Amino acid sequence: MNQKKISIIGVPMDLGQMRRGVDMGPSAIRYAGVVERLERLNLNIHDLGDIEIGRPGKTEEKSEGSNLRYLKAVAEGNKKLAEVVDHTIEGGSFPLVLGGDHSIAIGTLAGVAKHYDNLGVIWYDAHGDLNTVETSPSGNIHGMPLAVSLGIGHEDLTSIGGYTPKIKPENIVIIGARSLDDGEKELIREVGIKVYTMHEIDRLGMTKVMDEAITYLKDKTDGVHLSLDLDGLDPLDAPGVGTPVNGGISYRESHLAMEMLEESKIITSAEFVEVNPILDDKNKTATVAVALMGSLFGEKLL
């Protein structure tokens, strides 16, 4: 991660899921001091503000011929995000995207992947986000971005950026999974995605998990995107998320993971998503997100 110029992009998207409030995530993260914290690391920070996300009415919730919730609005928001991320990278800056629900990863990856031949992805999340219209129990698009980026899903989503797929299954590492739907498990086995569930993290330890993940991606990719959902952490440490799952990654384990990624120098773009201040306790989850960003960008205890 040798780029010193970082562009912050807020995406106040809450249409990919059913609990309101996550659209305030970018504001909560800024309020928690992300700009000031990264500037203290002698990084050149440019806050590009927020992508404009439309506010469709209830009648637009389900598109004709699809049970995906707010498909048109989610697709439009991600198209805008993909363009901004694309231009950010063209300008020589590291895109740091603040969510918003995890559906925004569709746009982030559409903007990032066109700049790499073999983009790697670390998906730090309690969930696989590998559902499709056929397997999703809810129709919520925030449970689909990784599948969409693999070229699996509705054409309005997979075609964003004008190309598909964005990533290859062998270039993905999921870390922290502990809530996978049956269809996701089947897809993981079918296409061969590397997954470290909480069982592996408990058994191997986070140091071993991150060593293996970094080694797995380092030589075969020309860039690695970090997509970090705050529900990857245990709800005791990150309560302000829409889909909390008990038994998650600890605060300290997450710092270690970010520190090891910084030392590896493989991360070329990142997003932090699913911070919901309405469900939070005194902005605790946004504060955790900012602290993890500090470790990702080189903050040290000594």
Q: What is the mean pLDDT of each run of 10 residues along the chain (302 residues)?
A: 81 90 97 97 97 78 73 96 98 97 98 98 98 87 97 96 98 98 96 98 98 97 98 98 97 98 98 98 98 97 81
What pLDDT is attached to residue 54?
A: 84
pLDDT 10s digits, 145-177: 999 999 999 999 999 999 999 999 999 999 999
Measured CA to CA in angstroms, residue 13 lies from 26, 27, 45, 51 at distances of: 9, 12, 23, 9
pLDDT 10s digits, 33-63: 999 999 999 999 999 999 999 887 665 666 6
What pLDDT is attached to residue 2?
A: 47
Cα Rg, the chain, nearest whole Å: 17
Measured CA to CA in angstroms, residue 267 lies from 60, 68, 176 at distances of: 37, 32, 18
Q: Tell me the CATH number for domain 5-296.
A: 3.40.800.10
Spatial distance between the Cα atoms of 243 and 256, rounded to a whole number of angstroms: 24
What pLDDT is attached to residue 135?
A: 86
* Active-site residue list: 102, 125, 127, 129, 142, 229, 231, 274
What pLDDT is attached to residue 34?
A: 98
What pLDDT is attached to residue 1?
A: 45
Domain residue limits, the chain:
5-296
